[in-house]
Structure 1
Amino acid sequence: MHTVLEIKGRKYTIEGQEPIINKVLSIDYQKDKGSGDEIVFDKVLVYRGEFGQPCLNVRVVSEVVKELSKAKKIIVFKRKAKKRYKVKRGHRQPYTWVKITKVEPT
């Protein structure tokens, strides 16, 4: 079963009930949803070979596996030549593991 769904402007392709990593979801659902809670995605673009214009009437019910995790730290380093200006900062992008439990037409 091949399904394409859109979450916060990004398209995710899922095959069956595999987990997906969403990097944007954790910002919105951080306060409301925890580990084991259900999230419903309604913007399904492709489901079993059918293409929506723009969306289909299909619900994707998923479960938040991990509440909030962070990716590996990346280092951002800025400097200006001949001015003794150096700034070193790190950033860890938050993300959420989401496991698809069922895909059902409405």
Structure 2
Amino acid sequence: MEGKSSPHARWVPGSGRDNDEVRAGREEARIAFELGNAVRERRQALGWSQAELARRAGMTQPALSRLEAGGPTPTIGVLDRIAHALGARLTVQFTDAV
């Protein structure tokens, strides 16, 4: 069966997605996870449930849950509403790459 691909074939660098694309996907996932974690930590510090923060931010609890889990990156507008609901100010900062 030479030349046929197997569902159990090993991944070979350069054989699939471009490495830059993979790195970009990982970076996006890292940012989404850190953002969700920051929202969850602030919410928990206030002693609020997801439902309470979602209500105050004008969104659904399932949408907030996805955000806290590192799901799809929210828009700046959604982040601003969440920050306002948390009694915080949304800031964006650029730092040197490590």
TM-score (norm 1): 0.21
TM-score (norm 2): 0.22
